[in-house]
Structure 1
Amino acid sequence: MSSATATGSCLCNSVAYSITGVDKGPVLCHCSNCQKTTGSAFANNHRFMKAKLDITKGEDKVNTYSDSNSISGNTLLRHFCSQCGSPIYLENSAFKGKGLYILYTGCMDGNMQHTKPAGELFGHNRRGWFGGVEGAAKL
């Protein structure tokens, strides 16, 4: 995995960010909390390790929900735009300050948002009508 830089913004463009770090690629998360966060059948998340996240616009618009009811048992810090509600990124409290950021691909700019997920998390909760991503590891 190599170092990469990505940018993104929320729906209303009140919040924008830039992230640089080791690109671990995207995964789908089928846990019920991610389903509720996105209002969809899964969250399409792009993971960065050893990363530096800079909120380049609207830092005062970023709110955080501490999701302590996760399957992993760790508190997930879900960051979203207070103006439009777009989920922007999340952090696992167990790794806070260690450079692990998980970005929602729907808010990412450019080609990274089109990268096929390499894995699927919590597949036991996958919707029956969705057969999964062909070739993706079931984590």
Structure 2
Amino acid sequence: MKSPQGDPKDHPVTEFEQGLTGTCLCGSIRVTIHDQELFARRRGHLCHCSNCRKVAGSYVSANLIIEEEKVEIQDNAGTLKTYNDYDTLSGNPVFRSFCSVDGNPIKSETPLSPGKVIVKMGIFPRIPEPEMEGFATHRHPWEGDLEGTVKYKLARGGEKLEE
């Protein structure tokens, strides 16, 4: 019996061989990731920066940085809105898109990652295991170590955190 609150263990990764689909809370925005290798290796990205934490409403934001051509977004009711976030480490904007009805974050885009989209993973029934953490120096002292992730002191791709 499937959990009414969406237990990820109710969804074997084989269920997503043709695509992983999720929706915002009200269901007006539907996102499908078309990538048969999605669960073949670690793919996710956790971000501990304050802006991503705010957007996620949590102590960390679970993201997937992926080629934009692999992401299909259906905005059936025209509720997808974008906030232009200029309060960034680089000074480059991050375009944060969300559902204007339920506030659910959907994706982010930045000129620092051309051709890529940062999909917010909380909308999906199951997500791939994270491969990296950005702004790892901003983790709360009580957070446990996620073994096996590459930890960047600040922005992903920058200086790595020594463990």
Q: TM-score range by the shorter chain?
A: 0.7 to 0.9
2:153 equivalent to 1:132: no
Match of 1:101 among 105, 117, 120: 117
Bigger Cα displacement from structure 2, 6-15 vs 47-56: 47-56
* 2:29 counterpart residue number: 15
Residues of 1 paired with 2:134 and 2:31: CA distance? 25
- CA drift of 1:120 comes to 0.6
Is the 8 Å Cα contact of residues 51 and 101 (structure 1) preserved in structure 2? no
4+ residue runs over 4 A deviation: 21-24
Which TM-score applies when normalising by structure 1? 0.82
What SS does the corresponding residue of 1:118 show, helix, strand or coil?
strand
What secondary structure sits across from 1:37 in the alignment?
Answer: helix
- SS of the residue aligned with 1:44? strand
Q: Aligned partners of 2:144 and 2:31: how far apart in 1?
A: 33
Q: 2:136 aligns with which of 123, 130, 137?
A: 123
The superposition leaves residues 42-88 of structure 1 with CA deviations (integer Å, 9 ceiling, x where unpaired) of 10101212534332242610000111111233211100000000001
TM-score of the two chains, using structure 2 as the length reference: 0.71
The percentage of aligned residue pairs carrying the same residue is 34
State the Cα RMSD in Å.
2.2
Structure having the higher Rg: 2
Q: Is the 8 A contact 1:26 1:47 kept in 2?
A: yes
Deviations 1:62-119 (A, max 9, x none): 00011111123321110000000000111113445x2x0111111124x4x1x22111
Q: 5+ unaligned residues in a row in structure 1: which ranges?
A: none
Question: Structure 2 stretches of 5 or more lacking a match?
Answer: 1-17, 153-163
**Matched residue SS, 1:47:** strand
Q: Give the partner amino acid of 2:79.
A: K
Quick check: 1:26–1:117 contact (8 Å CA) kept in 2? yes
Aligned to 2:67: 49
Cα separation, 1, equivalents of 2:80 and 2:55:
15
In structure 2, give the amino acid aligned to 1:26.
Answer: G
Report the number of matched residues.
132
Q: Quick one: structure 1 residues 119 and 64, their matched pair in 2 at CA, closer, same or farther if it must change by over 3 Å?
A: same
